Amino acid sequence: MTSSLFLSIPARAAGTVLAIGLWIGAPGAISAQSGAAAEVHAFTGAHIIPIDGPEIENGTLVIENGRIRAVGVADDVRIPRNAELHDMAGRVIMPGLVDTHSHIGEVEGADRSGPIQPDVRVMDSINPRDAGIQKAQTGGVTTANIMSGSGHLLSGQTIYVKLRDVDVIDDLMIRDAAGNWMGGIKMANGTNPRGNAPFPGTRAKAAALVRAEFIKAQEYRDKMDAAGDDASKRPARDLGLEALVDVLEGRKVVHHHTHRHDDVLTVLRLSDEFGFRVVLHHVSDAWKVADEIAAAGAAVSLISVDSPGGKLEARDNHFKSGGVLEKAGVLTGFHTDDGITDSRFFTRQAALAVRAGMSREGALYGLTMAGAIMLDLDERIGSLTPGKDADFIVMSGDPLSVYTHVAQTWVDGQLVFDRSRDEDRTVATGGYGASFDQADFEHLLKREAGQ
């Protein structure tokens, strides 16, 4: 099988897992204010889970200008004189959660005119004021891969976003060093994309259609390469084939919906045949083919609770997949598929995997760093590493406890959710107004004014 960037999980520093007592306090017990953020913040007295090293008791986190400046045991971290202090005694701080598979923002993708539509860009359909974005913040999600649905073999180009409070999509999207928006390609196989022509009626026909489209992309790439700087020799521009060339050249990752063990192996064959990088999503039968996934160097984004009401191809979905994949050496993360499962309960995906045999360390890594790697963002997010973006969450207790809730969510050093604020608590717990779009910006303006 073709190798990929997902061949192995980076080594994590070993450390003793510390027991964390549940701390229950008044909603306003955290000292942070929601007004114009100071350039420097210091969070003290917390139990810190940095992901890139051992958990820290009585730790201090310092952020400056939207980046992590320092993290460590309190006595080892110097707090700048101009820092705004936040007493986090009894709280847990960990990196912001990375949801590798989300449908928030009222996202849409391809239509029913054909099964393969790589020219579609989901950014053209996202409502950045959708209440689903605020709900995801309450669950600790700071970065998400927003994708179109799985009713097509290829339903479009996904987009990677930071869950900031904004009014336009441009301020949600994550850009690379060159300023280009970042995203992958959404593909699917199995039951969902089957149908009447032009959609495939069988699994074999589905794979045949995908092969044919990738061959077109190879030919398009070769013609473009042969033409060089001579515009007269270039083929007519094709936005769909351009996107697939990005896949062939490794610039975009394929995020592939797949459930049944035989469908998983079909994806791996196609990845090997055309040399593209792939993250396998859902993967109900992952525990059956973990060794094959590992040998292919593919990554897996699991969903522990999938498709309420069930579908036949997901009947063997099992909580043990996380532990089996971890043992096999597969880069393993989690996702919500929101609204299949609610972003507000994202940490439960990892907790269920731990209950069935996955290590605590691996599960927390799966909520954070694994997703960052899958989105090619591991140098910027996923751990509390100095120099990375100041994306982190404050929790009331152990992140894998059903009794724990997210108290605060910070994105790029800005407080975007604070459970002590009435309006934020409503979004987190439900009630009148919790699902209102932020169309009139009253909610956002209150936050900016510190009300």
Question: Residue 19: which domain range?
Answer: 14-95+384-423
Q: What is the pLDDT of residue 8?
A: 38
Whole-Å CA distances, 312 to 57, 190, 257, 307, 316: 46, 11, 15, 10, 9
Same domain, 256 and 300: yes
224 located within any domain: yes
Q: Mean of the per-residue pLDDT values for the chain?
A: 90
* pLDDT tens by residue, 356-400: 999 999 999 999 999 999 999 999 999 999 999 999 999 999 999
Say which CATH number the domain at 56 has: 2.30.40.10
7 located within any domain: no
The better pLDDT of the pair 27, 366 is held by: 366
pLDDT tier, 262 (very low <50, low <70, confident <90, very high otherwise): very high
- Rounded CA separation 83/88 (Å): 15
Same domain, 104 and 150: yes
Same domain, 408 and 366: no
Same domain, 113 and 256: yes
Say which CATH number the domain at 324 has: 3.20.20.140
Q: What is the pLDDT of residue 13?
A: 37
> Cis peptide before 198, with omega less than 30 degrees from 0?
yes
Residue 305 has pLDDT above 90, yes or no: no
Same domain, 127 and 74: no
Same domain, 34 and 164: no
18 located within any domain: yes
Contact between residue 59 and residue 46 where contact means Cβ atoms under 8 Å apart: yes
Residue 255 has pLDDT above 90, yes or no: yes
Flag the least confident range among 11-20, 193-202, 257-266, 278-287.
Answer: 11-20
pLDDT tier, 433 (very low <50, low <70, confident <90, very high otherwise): confident
* pLDDT tens by residue, 400-420: 999 999 999 999 999 999 999
Residue 30 has pLDDT above 90, yes or no: no
141 located within any domain: yes
As a whole number of angstroms, the longest Cα–Cα distance in the chain is 70
- Rounded CA separation 49/30 (Å): 18
Domain count, the chain: 2
443 located within any domain: no
- H or E element, residue 425: helix 422-429
- 188 phi and psi, to 5 degrees? -155, 155
Same domain, 272 and 233: yes
Q: List the structure tokens of 338.
A: 């929101």
Q: What is the pLDDT of residue 447?
A: 58
444 located within any domain: no
Contact between residue 350 and residue 365 where contact means Cβ atoms under 8 Å apart: no
pTM for this one?
0.89
Same domain, 262 and 115: yes
247 located within any domain: yes
Same domain, 310 and 175: yes
* pLDDT tens by residue, 319-355: 999 999 999 999 999 999 998 899 999 999 999 999 9
Same domain, 101 and 89: no
9 located within any domain: no
Same domain, 293 and 412: no
Q: What is the mean pLDDT of residues 154-177?
A: 96
Same domain, 108 and 56: no
Contact between residue 50 and residue 393 where contact means Cβ atoms under 8 Å apart: no
Flag the least confident range among 21-30, 129-138, 272-281.
Answer: 21-30
